[in-house]
Amino acid sequence: MENLKMAELLFPEITKTPEYYEELYPARNLKEGAVVTRFAPSPTGFLHFGGLFASFVGRTAAKTTGGVFFLRIEDTDKKREIENGVSLIVKGLNDFGIEIDEGMLSETVEKGEYGPYTQSARRDIYRCFVKELVKKGMAYPCFMSEEELSQIRELQEEKKELPGVWGKYAKFRDITVEEAKKRIDAGEQYVVRLRSPGQEDKRVKFKDVIRGEIEMPENIIDVVLLKKDGIPTYHFAHVVDDHLMRTTHVVRGDEWVSSVPIHLQLFNVCGFKLPKFAHISPIMKEENGGKRKLSKRKDPEAAVSFYEEEGYPAGSVWEYLLTLANSNYEEWRRANKDVSPEKFPFSFSKMSKGGALFDLVKLNDISKGYIATLSADEVYDLLYDWSKANDDVLFARLQDKEYALKVLGVERGNAKPRKDIAKWKDVRDYTEYYFTAPTSYEFSVNISKDAVLEILENYKKVYTKDLTSEDWFPAVRDMAEELGYAKNPKLYKENPDAFMGHVGDVSTVIRIAITGRSNTPDLFWISTVLGYEETISRIDNAINFLK
């Protein structure tokens, strides 16, 4: 009776019961094993690589099991909010191809049957469930002042006791309705606390799908459920939301592991079925032989804007995230070259417990491999969008689409496409010579100026308009032999005094004359893109430069 009166005193405006919400949000009709999970950021607008990783893992787990991935905005702490914070997060996820099945799509638009998906719009729901706990005698109003709280904290520190409001320190546990009413009428502020049923010597066990079995002391603290402003704490909102949204897997950062005993207790006292927990370790970085967490302050790659600015295509980042998520991904990839990465059988239990290691060199390698699988048209479209926002010079060069497609098509679409481009930011420099002829040359090979001139003069005769790709190298080799060069490096090495150099030196001279560089893709292919006249004119330029 007392409890009912207390509930009415604290929540007179709440007329709905938990049954109402249970019916409004029925169990989801999904096939067995389907993972329902969520990304639940505060609307700070800032998407950290760790957040991208966690949402990627959630998305992948849902997608591969026919489940649901939703975005819930946790805005119970208004101080951390920024304008357009939600849209920025949604855009951040979309940029990497992480689709949201349900939840917030912008500040005001949401989709799905289990909303509202923003915590500040769920005030009545939380209050209804706290009211129910008060009715059951499992929650009570606490009028302790800040001074009282810091006094007990000091005392607990002195006595080396568990800090917080528990047991003998929970002064308002048995407050009467009369006293509560008196204080409320006098304008005193209060929080609502759980009356923790935990016992000091008891332990709780749970199985984390990433970390395995975890055992910890049971929670004995009368944690705050509703703050003074009537807004729930993270703990309570998490439990109510993940229950009513029918989350099967709570995928979140491992900073929450230590709070799990509180959450287990809350699920219990509310009579909710427990979800599974997947606590993700932070992404690590190697430094001076040791490991540390990827840091917002020290590592540019910790901000997701880095990937857009550098021009890593979403597909590359996606592949990289998979290698970070499950170390067996690369092996699977090699065995399933033509299969979509969405078909990879992702597993929580194969995630790193110590924290996956971020490695930029590896990201570049993976990205090169990914970009090599794209067609010239696909590269063109992605590069076009990227350069429009990030590189005016490159964007201007892409306006001649026919020519740009030829440039981007060099050594692409063949049996062994060249793995040369890691990110769009590198493309301008990498393709420079297709757009501007070299004006100075460093013929780095170990032969005299006259010998270089002799090669270039002769090459003008060899490089005829109707030369085919098959005939090109044999023609260069024959020319090299005629001029006194070995037809292969091995022959040269066996008897260096007998030759001027070898065919590789000859082709390097030609390469430098045409492109200004000693290392490029297939030279015949490049010349074909440049055209016969331009190729010959570049050889002439180099000859004039030397003379």
Query: Measured between alpha carbons, how far is 93 from 113 in angstroms, rounded to an integer?
Result: 21
Interface with ligand GLU by CB under 6 A: which range of 3-11, 40-48, 401-409, 484-492?
40-48
**55 or 520, CB closer to ligand GLU?**
55
Q: How far is the CB of 87 from ligand GLU (least distance, A)?
A: 17
Interface with ligand GLU by CB under 6 A: which range of 36-44, 223-231, 464-472, 491-499?
36-44
Cβ atoms of residues 140 and 193 within 8 Å: yes
Distances in whole angstroms, Cα of residue 451 to Cα of each of 446, 447, 480, 516, 519: 10, 6, 11, 18, 20
**211 or 238, CB closer to ligand GLU?**
238
**71 or 526, CB closer to ligand GLU?**
71
Q: How far is the CB of 364 from ligand GLU (least distance, A)?
A: 30
**134 or 278, CB closer to ligand GLU?**
278
Cβ neighbours around 487 below 10 Å, total: 17
Of these, 40, 47, 221, 294, which contacts ligand GLU (CB under 6 A)? 40
DSSP-derived secondary structure for 162-218: PPSSBGGG-TTTT--HHHHHHHHHTT---EEEE-----TT-EEEEEETTTEEEEEEP
Query: Measured between alpha carbons, how far is 348 from 343 in angstroms, rounded to an integer?
Result: 15
Cβ atoms of residues 485 and 494 within 8 Å: no
The contacts found for 326-329 with CB under 8 angstroms, 24 or more apart, are 326/350, 326/351, 327/352
Task: Mark out the alpha helices in 206-351 (DSSP H runs).
Answer: 234-244, 260-270, 305-310, 314-325, 329-335
Interface with ligand GLU by CB under 6 A: which range of 35-43, 183-191, 300-308, 503-511?
35-43
Q: How far is the CB of 119 from ligand GLU (least distance, A)?
A: 9
Q: How far is the CB of 243 from ligand GLU (least distance, A)?
A: 13
232-251 positions binding ligand GLU, by CB under 6 A: 238
Question: Which residues sit opposite 293 in a β-bridge?
Answer: 284
Cβ atoms of residues 460 and 423 within 8 Å: no
Interface with ligand GLU by CB under 6 A: which range of 39-47, 177-185, 188-196, 414-422?
39-47
Of these, 235, 243, 252, 279, which contacts ligand GLU (CB under 6 A)? 252
The contacts found for 76-85 with CB under 8 angstroms, 24 or more apart, are 76/119, 76/120, 76/231, 76/232, 76/233, 76/234, 76/237, 77/42, 80/42, 80/43, 80/44, 81/42, 81/43, 81/44, 82/43, 82/44, 82/45, 83/45, 84/45, 85/42, 85/43, 85/44, 85/45
Q: How far is the CB of 236 from ligand GLU (least distance, A)?
A: 12
Cβ atoms of residues 92 and 304 within 8 Å: yes
Q: How far is the CB of 25 from ligand GLU (least distance, A)?
A: 18
Query: Measured between alpha carbons, how far is 176 from 2 in angstroms, rounded to an integer?
Result: 8
Interface with ligand GLU by CB under 6 A: which range of 38-46, 56-64, 153-161, 210-218?
38-46
| CA 99 to chain CA mean position, Å | 13
389-418 positions binding ligand GLU, by CB under 6 A: none
Cβ neighbours around 184 below 10 Å, total: 15
42 is a site residue for ligand GLU (CB under 6 A): yes
**41 or 45, CB closer to ligand GLU?**
41
**125 or 394, CB closer to ligand GLU?**
125
DSSP 8-state code for residue 36 = E
Query: Measured between alpha carbons, how far is 92 from 76 in angstroms, rounded to an integer?
Result: 22
Interface with ligand GLU: number of residues (CB under 6 A): 7
**104 or 394, CB closer to ligand GLU?**
104
**239 or 539, CB closer to ligand GLU?**
239
14 is a site residue for ligand GLU (CB under 6 A): no
Site string for ligand GLU, 315-344 (x = CB under 6 A): ------------------------------
Q: Which residue has the tokens 């998979």?
A: 322
3-class secondary-structure state, position 102: strand
41 is a site residue for ligand GLU (CB under 6 A): yes
Cβ neighbours around 427 below 10 Å, total: 24
**217 or 253, CB closer to ligand GLU?**
253
**226 or 280, CB closer to ligand GLU?**
280
Q: How far is the CB of 357 from ligand GLU (least distance, A)?
A: 22
| CA 425 to chain CA mean position, Å | 20
Q: How far is the CB of 255 from ligand GLU (least distance, A)?
A: 7
**Residue showing the smallest CB distance to ligand GLU in the complex:** 252
58-117 positions binding ligand GLU, by CB under 6 A: 74
**59 or 238, CB closer to ligand GLU?**
238
Residues forming the site for ligand GLU (CB under 6 A): 40-42, 74, 238, 252-253
